[in-house]
Amino acid sequence: MKNILLINTSFRENCLSEYSSFGPPMGLLAISSALQEKGFSVEIIDPQLNGNYLDTLSEALNKPLLFIGMSSYLGENVQHAVALSKFIKNKKPDLPIVLGGPLATSIPEVLFDQMFVDYIVMGSGEETIVELANALRSSCSPVDLPYISYKCNGKLVVGEIPVFSGELDGLPQPALEDWEEGIKKLGRIPLITSRGCDRGCSFCYNTFTGKRAYYLRSPENVISEMERWSSYFKINQFEFYDDNFLLDSQRALTILDEMERRKWSVNRLFGHLDEFDKVAPEQLAGTVNLLVMCIESASPHIQKILNKKIDIEKALGLIVRVTDQKIKFLTAFMFGIPSESDEDIRLSIELADRIRKIDASNTSMCYIYAPQPKDAIVRRLGPNNIIDFSLDAVSSVEVVPVPPDNKLDLRLRPWMNKEDQTFYLDFVLVWQHYFAGFQAVSFDPQSVFDKSDRIASLFKDISPPKNSSNIFSMKSLKAKIYNAWNSFARF
């Protein structure tokens, strides 16, 4: 038996509504490609594309399957994984369910205790999933596989977290043809040109799953994949889903020069401030449509906690050069960090205001820090800050808490109280109006200022956006935030 079913759990239940976010399940597509290369047959169900996904799943369960695979991240994704695993086990109790992803790797004991799961693939999974599939096909126990977590006689056996030690060029490319309908809807070809990161931002899961290792695909390998998919889909626009495209400047410029020669464009490219010392914005003009550089905070105190130091004046100089090249600029700020003060918050507000004054189209989003199990911030919290990482808590994470389902779960943030909860929920609304460009018909920021002297003081002397009626649509705001957040946080 060689048939395997993979299910994308990264979707919103109202995914066909105005609030939808949409993006390729790159992890599953990479797993699918690895399995197919070794002779396994793979089917992918993506509820983003299939409104009747439960009917499709029921039909698939009538066929002989080796296992079903899903991934796990903070937020609604976990709710879907729990519900789908229950649905599957009700119909096929002996069919193995395999989970992967950062959340499963960080808290396997919680997942085994609180949902139906048979195996967890720890860390990067292309090689491990093939080994597991071969073991299951041979009716062998996976006890000898070092990177698998499972239960044996009621006892949890937690696997090791591998650090990828090979060449990325040697891995099969994600099976984008398995998501052809999605590519046509997206209108762009998603690519991942690197893996891991050496920067060590304290809020990032890579500090414990990847141990700060990183790997880069060769420019020849990347260009070959771009050529393949551009020809296959008849699309000349791409989107890079990795943070470290610019880490090796010569590699990046080789790819960008070839893109310019072929008249290919990239819808969005991530960059870190110091990388632009060697890759100038002028070299991106005409090829890159949107540059994303996440600043996180203008406060030296918060930058230290986040382990992400940013030279503010240097960043502003770069943003001027980026906008001079007619490249759209997007950044993000993080709030709700333990020990954050109003002075820290005000510094970020002032910086977002300066960014907006460079060009009114510049976007500064904000989100609330959501602890990830074993991230460096969590590890530094004292015994008085016990975080509830139950599935119920981690599945309720909303990083951009705006209506209609705005919430801020204090179980994940024991350093906050009810007053803080109200403050941050109101603060996010005002920030998005001022700096993220969402406006239309039903919310007046003055109503927040009237009830919160604290927020009114933080935004004192900060002008509302120009050409604004000073009101915006909650519905439009929610849709745009989900789409923008999803575009740089998906993979």
**Would you say 452 and 425 are in contact if contact means Cβ atoms under 8 Å apart?**
no
Q: Same CATH fold, 176-489 and 3-157?
A: no
- What SS3 class is residue 367? strand
Q: Position 400: which residue type?
A: V
Secondary structure letter of residue 101 according to DSSP? S
Instruction: Please tell me the distance from the alpha carbon of residue 268 to that of residue 276, in angstroms, as a whole number.
Output: 16
User: Which of 139-148, 362-371, 433-442, 457-466 is least confident?
Assistant: 433-442
pLDDT of 489: 38
Asked whether residue 38 carries a pLDDT value surpassing 80, the answer given is yes
329: β partners: 291
**Would you say 176 and 190 are in contact if contact means Cβ atoms under 8 Å apart?**
yes
Pairing of strands 290-292, 269-270: parallel
Could you please report the per-residue DSSP string of 407-418?
A: ---GGG-TT--H
pLDDT of 209: 57
Tell me the per-residue pLDDT of 247-267, one tens digit each, with 9 for 90 and over: 999 999 999 999 999 999 999
Tell me the per-residue pLDDT of 62-83, one tens digit each, with 9 for 90 and over: 999 999 999 988 888 888 999 9
CA distances from 171 to 26, 164, 165, 223 (A): 14, 11, 12, 15
The pair of structure tokens assigned to 60 is 């698939």
Tell me the per-residue pLDDT of 136-162, one tens digit each, with 9 for 90 and over: 998 887 878 999 999 988 899 999 988
In CATH, which superfamily holds the domain spanning 3-157? Response regulator (3.40.50.2300)
pLDDT of 19: 36
pTM score = 0.88
Instruction: Please tell me the distance from the alpha carbon of residue 491 to that of residue 487, in angstroms, as a whole number.
Output: 9
Is the sign of the CA dihedral 215, 218, 219, 220 positive or negative? negative
Tell me the per-residue pLDDT of 276-293, one tens digit each, with 9 for 90 and over: 999 999 999 999 999 999
Q: Which residues contact 63 (CB under 8 A, 6 or more apart)?
A: 3
**Would you say 296 and 332 are in contact if contact means Cβ atoms under 8 Å apart?**
yes
User: Which of 217-231, 308-322, 389-403 is least confident?
Assistant: 389-403
Instruction: Please tell me the distance from the alpha carbon of residue 382 to that of residue 339, in angstroms, as a whole number.
Output: 12
Secondary structure letter of residue 463 according to DSSP? P
**Would you say 245 and 272 are in contact if contact means Cβ atoms under 8 Å apart?**
no
Asked whether residue 443 carries a pLDDT value surpassing 80, the answer given is no
Burial of 313 (0-12, 13-18, 19+ CB in 10 A): exposed
Tell me the per-residue pLDDT of 85-137, one tens digit each, with 9 for 90 and over: 999 999 999 999 999 988 899 899 999 999 999 999 998 888 999 999 999 99
Q: Which residues contact 219 (CB under 8 A, 6 or more apart)?
A: 251, 254, 255, 258
pLDDT of 486: 44
pLDDT of 487: 40
**Would you say 441 and 416 are in contact if contact means Cβ atoms under 8 Å apart?**
no
Q: Which residues contact 299 (CB under 8 A, 6 or more apart)?
A: 340, 343, 344, 345, 347, 348
Instruction: Please tell me the distance from the alpha carbon of residue 385 to that of residue 413, in angstroms, as a whole number.
Output: 8
**Number of Cα atoms under 13 Å in the Cβ half of residue 371:** 27
Residue ranges per structural domain of the chain: 3-157, 176-489
Could you please report the per-residue DSSP string of 213-281?
A: -EEE--HHHHHHHHHHHHHHHT--EEEE--TTTTSSHHHHHHHHHHHHHHT-EES-EE--GGGGGTS-G
- For tokens 């695993």, what's the residue? 85
Tell me the per-residue pLDDT of 392-434, one tens digit each, with 9 for 90 and over: 888 888 777 766 667 888 999 999 999 999 999 999 989 988 9
Spell out the CATH class of 176-489: alpha beta
pLDDT of 82: 94
4: β partners: 42, 67
- Calculate the dihedral angle through the C-alpha atoms of 94, 100, 104, 105, rounding to the nearest 10 degrees: 130
pLDDT of 75: 82
Number of other CB atoms surrounding residue 181 within 10 Å: 12
The pair of structure tokens assigned to 96 is 């193995």
